[in-house]
Amino acid sequence: TSVQSGPLRVAVVGASEVGKSALTVRYLTKRYIGEYRSDTDMLYKCVLQVDGAPQSVEIMDTSASSDKTSDPNLPWAEAFVVVYSITDKESYQRAATTVQELSERRASASVLLVGNKSDLGHLREVEEVEARTLALTHAARFAELSTAESCTSVSEVVDNFLKEVKAQRNG
Ligand code: GDP
Ligand code: MG
């Protein structure tokens, strides 16, 4: 179908202040700036190398203020990056609810659960094993990482995820 040959559409969702914008900008530009607009959704359209071939990709960095696009079941997207902060238990609970809802309502969507801010281990409120287990239960991918400190892990984790989304589409 035309959908399958169109862009890979990825929504970045989660509680506010967990680093959705930082992660998105880090992935797309390799840079970490630190402060981002949080009052609006941002839609990035680009062509990326996915599994060795050019692929158009659209990434929506959602914001809390937009009801429409902060809907985790956002029909626009075929893949979801669900972000929480390891320093914020509430953000994890919200992410867990989203992952569960997606597995119930959007079974064909690919999901990547990201525990961000792993550089702040001294403020940790969420155990890695708990999140990893949740992801496994719902056939989601999982990574803990620091958008602030590591460019490489953000690239690797998201590159691998996009590869899987593409493979799922073609498979
Ligand atoms: P959003 O509301 O989810 O889009 O969150 P932002 O991307 O605006 O980030 C919220 C705050 O967390 C900003 O002050 C960022 O600089 C900070 N932040 C983002 N990622 C990290 C990280 O990996 N480590 C630390 N220590 N701070 C981060
Ligand atoms: Mg934001």
Task: List, as one string, the DSSP characters of 94-155.
Answer: HHHHHHHHHHHH-TTSEEEEEEE-GGGGGG--S-HHHHHHHHHHTT-EEEE--TTT-HHHHH
> Going by CA atoms, what residue is nearest to atom 9 of ligand 1?
19
Count of CB atoms within 10 A of residue 9's CB? 21
Task: Please state the atom number of ligand 1 nearest to the C-alpha of residue 25.
Answer: 7
The residue among 66, 97, 69 whose CA lies nearest residue 84 is 97
Q: Is the CB of 22 under 6 A from ligand 1?
A: yes
- End-to-end alpha carbon distance in the chain: 14
Q: How far is CA 166 from CA 89, 129, 138, in A?
A: 32, 28, 19
Q: Over its length of 171 residues, how does the chain's per-residue pLDDT go in tens digits? A: 334 579 999 999 999 999 999 999 999 998 888 788 778 889 999 999 999 999 999 999 998 765 554 565 688 999 999 999 999 999 999 999 999 999 999 999 999 999 999 999 999 999 999 999 999 999 999 999 999 999 889 999 999 999 999 999 877
112 DSSP β-pair partners:
81, 141
- Ligand number with the minimum distance to the CA of 16: 1
Q: Is 18 in the pocket of ligand 1 (CB under 6 A)?
A: yes
C-beta of 64 in contact with ligand 1 (< 6 A) = no
ipTM, interface predicted TM-score of the complex? 0.99
